Chains A and B, each alone.
Chain A
């Protein structure tokens, strides 16, 4: 494939910015997690593109570790959401003011 490295990096940057905007603007915890997933995924695309660009398989190995970290993060985050939803009955980030300073 002869698509330039810059072109693929722009795609990854665009996806990363979409994930950032999703994390910062949404209140629903599920949407925040989805934004984090999009950001991790775009990092994976950038690593794979770099692996092809420099002909080095270490970039692809990094994508594998990114996937592992994403899976672990999502498992713990969803368990946390279920736990906090039992206590507050809400999945909105606005309702989690339980510590009260």
Chain B
């Protein structure tokens, strides 16, 4: 039980606890705040897994960018009619439990299946320089496709967010 292992298990506990709080909050703002804690913990996990650049990007993009965008939109939308929960909670949770159980079974199979792959010794890898070299040497085409995807999402978000005065009145 080395020092890094203890840090890993503490961080994993923090991430799981924060995520558990996040998915059970009624208020979406509280959920986003817990999710920021979860993403910070995930950044620590990435660092422990030998990916310092990904840890920085996790904080910058996820916790700093996406979650702040969430908060802006949640606060921009004024009238949040609360969702009507069905009276019997079992009908809500049963499909989720069944699907989660199936996913868990498949994941356990994948974890314990032996694919006969030789494994190397784990060590710290992934300095940002090597990462960038692999990214722009082997993956230059996916990088271009990702930039096109971001451009398309930007145009789509602008198109969807334009002024629109048509409002449907016959909503219950």
Contact = CB atoms under 8 A, between A and B. Distances in A.
Q: Do A and B come from one complex?
A: yes
B27 to A, nearest CB: 10
Contacts of B51: 48, 51-52, 60, 63
Contacts of A8: 49
Nearest to B81: A90
A94 B84 contact: yes
A58 B80 CA distance: 43
Interface string A61-101: 10111011111111110111111011111111111001000
A76 B157 contact: yes
Contacts of B99: 20, 24
Nearest to B93: A25
B32 to A, nearest CB: 7
Contacts of B111: 6, 9-10, 13
Contact of A48 (B46, B65, B85): B46
A52 B4 CA distance: 15
A89 B168 CA distance: 10
Interface in B128-170: 130-131, 134-135, 138-139, 142, 146, 149-150, 152-154, 156-158, 160-161, 164, 166-168
B65 A71 contact: yes
Contacts of B57: 64, 67
Interface residues of A, number: 76
B23 A78 contact: no
Interface in A1-31: 1-3, 5-6, 8-11, 13-22, 24-28, 30-31
B123 A55 contact: yes
Interface of A: 1-3, 5-6, 8-11, 13-22, 24-28, 30-31, 33-35, 37-38, 41, 44-45, 48-49, 51-55, 57-58, 60-61, 63-65, 67-76, 78-83, 85-95, 98
Interface of B: 2, 4-5, 8-9, 12, 15-16, 19-20, 22-23, 28, 31-32, 35, 38-39, 42, 45-46, 48-51, 53-54, 57-58, 61-62, 65-66, 69-70, 73-74, 76-77, 79-85, 92-93, 95-97, 99-100, 103-104, 107-108, 110-112, 117, 119-123, 125-126, 130-131, 134-135, 138-139, 142, 146, 149-150, 152-154, 156-158, 160-161, 164, 166-168, 171-172
8 contacts: A6-B112, A25-B93, A34-B23, A34-B70, A61-B139, A64-B54, A88-B171, A91-B77
